[in-house]
Amino acid sequence: MASTLRFLHSASAQDAALADPSLLGVLAFSQEPSSVSAPLLQITTAYNDASLELWLGKGKTISGNSGDISYRHDGEYLFGTLHIDEPLGGSIPPLQQATESAYRQIFTLMASLGYPVSLRFWNYIADINAVTHGLERYRQFNLGRQEAYLASGREIKDDLPAACALGIDQGPLSIAFLAGRTPGLPIENPRQISAYDYPQDYGPRSPTFSRAYLLPQAGLLLISGTASIVGHKTVHAGDVRAQTRETLANLQAVITAANQHLPGIEPKHLACRVYIRNAEDRSAITQEIERIWGADIQASFVRADICRADLLLEIEATAD
Ligand code: 3EB
C-alpha cells in the first residue's frame, strides 16, 4: 500500500526522523524543551512518559505561518499547531472566544491552501473541568468549536475528524491538526451515541468529532480519544479498572467497524496514548490492558484531566 502519510512514535528527541525532509509536524510529551523546526505541540506535564509523535508525508514540505498557526504541507497533507492565549474580558467566555478564533483560523488556512478535509485534531485546554461564566470550560470549548464549524459552512455531523480534548495544568489553548486533500472515512462506534448527537446534558453545543478516521490510501486508522462511555453515559464512575475494560471494549468496537472498510487492523497494531487523571492509577490500568490485550501493546502514559469530571482515563491510538 502506498504510504504517503506515516506516523512514528519515538522515545528519543535525537531521532533521525526529526531531520527528515518529509517531516510535517511533531507532538512532544516531554519536559525537556524540544528543538524541532517543524510545527510542534509540546505538553510539559510532569509524570508523562517522554515521547514524540512524528507525522511524515511523502517528500518535500513547505513551511509557513498564518496568524497564530505554524504549518507545513507537502501537496497531500497539511499539519499545523497553534497556541492561543485566552483574551481578557468580554461577555463571551474567553476560552470560547479563543477556541472559535483558533478553529476559524484553521478552517480558513485549510481552504486557502487547498486541504479541505479535516482528519485529526488534538486539543489541550488548561483547567478543562473548571466552571466559569456558569459553564464548565470543556463546554465553553465545544461552543466555540461548533460556532467555527457553522461559520465555515461545515456540517456538524458529516466528515468529522478524529479528535481528542484533554485538560492540562496550565498554558494557552493548544491545538494540533492534520488535514488532507482527499477524504477518508469517518468511523462511528455502535456502542456509543455519536458525540455530535450527545444530548444537551453535556453542554449547550455538542462536540464535533468522529470516533475514528480511516485513511485507506495511507493504511492508517486514527482513533479518537476513547473513554468509558456507553450510549452517551459515563459508566463505572470511580472504578478505574472497570473504566479501562469499557474503554478497551469501545476501542475494539471502533476497530471492528473500521475493519469492514479496511480489513486487518488489530489491537496489536495500535500505538496508544493513555491519558490518566490520577498518576497512581497507572499500574491498575496497565494490568487491565495487559490482561485483555497482552503485554506487547505500545502505550505511553500522559497525566491529564479528562473532559468529563467522572472519567478517569481516555485512550487514543493510531493503527497501521
Ligand atoms: C467522549 O467520548 C470522550 O471533544 O474533541 C473524546 C474525544 C472526547 C474527543 C472532543 C472528547 C473529544 O465524549 C471525550
Q: pLDDT tens digits, residue range 201-220? A: 999 999 999 999 999 999 99
Query: Is 314 known to be catalytic?
Result: yes
Higher pLDDT, 58 or 3: 58
Q: Determine how many CB atoms are found less than 10 A away from the CB of residue 253.
A: 18
At 116, the amino acid letter reads P
Which residues have CB under 6 Å of ligand 1?
A: 123, 163-165, 195, 207, 209, 224-225, 227, 229, 307
The protein residue whose alpha carbon is closest to atom 9 in ligand 1 is: 164
**What is the Cα–Cα distance from 65 to 71, expressed in whole angstroms?**
6
* CA 164 – ligand 1 centroid, Å: 5
What would the grid cell of residue 311 be?
Answer: 472519567
**What is the Cα–Cα distance from 247 to 313, expressed in whole angstroms?**
8
Question: 121, 176 in Cβ contact below 8 A?
Answer: yes
Please give the helix or strand (H or E) that residue 124 lies within, else none: strand 117-126
Alpha-carbon distances, residue 133 vs 94, 136, 172 (angstroms): 10, 8, 18
**What is the Cα–Cα distance from 302 to 47, expressed in whole angstroms?**
7
How high does pLDDT run on average in the chain?
94
What would the grid cell of residue 36 be?
Answer: 524541532
φ/ψ (deg, to 5) at 235:
-120, 155
Partners of residue 316 on adjacent β-strands: 273
From the alpha carbon of 142, which atom of ligand 1 is closest? 4
Segment 164-168 shows an average pLDDT of 97
Percent of the chain with pLDDT over 70: 98
pLDDT at 18: 84
Domains of the chain: 6-319 (3.30.1330.40)
* 189 pLDDT more than 80: yes
Over residues 256-299, the pLDDT tens digits come to 999 999 999 999 889 999 999 999 999 999 999 999 999 989 99
* CA 21 – ligand 1 centroid, Å: 33
From the alpha carbon of 209, which atom of ligand 1 is closest? 5
Percent of the chain with pLDDT over 90: 83
User: Minimum mean pLDDT among 8-12, 105-109, 151-155: which range?
Assistant: 8-12
**What is the Cα–Cα distance from 310 to 318, expressed in whole angstroms?**
25
* CA 290 – ligand 1 centroid, Å: 24
Segment 245-253 shows an average pLDDT of 98
* CA 60 – ligand 1 centroid, Å: 33
Over residues 51-89, the pLDDT tens digits come to 999 999 988 999 999 999 999 999 999 999 999 999 987
DSSP 128-154: TT-EETTEEHHHHHHHHHHHHHHHTT-
* 13 pLDDT more than 60: no
**What is the Cα–Cα distance from 25 to 278, expressed in whole angstroms?**
29
Annotated catalytic residue, options 136, 147, 288, 314: 314
What would the grid cell of residue 12 be?
Answer: 528519543
Q: ipTM, 2 decimals? A: 0.98
Best substitution site from 122, 160, 209 to test ligand 1's pocket, by max atoms within 8 Å of Cβ? Answer: 209
> Band of the pLDDT at 250, cuts 50, 70, 90?
very high
Partners of residue 10 on adjacent β-strands: 52
Q: For the CA atoms of 181, 39, 70, 79, what is the dihedral angle to 10 degrees? A: 10
From the alpha carbon of 311, which atom of ligand 1 is closest? 3
**What is the Cα–Cα distance from 94 to 58, expressed in whole angstroms?**
38
pLDDT at 12: 65
* CA 163 – ligand 1 centroid, Å: 7
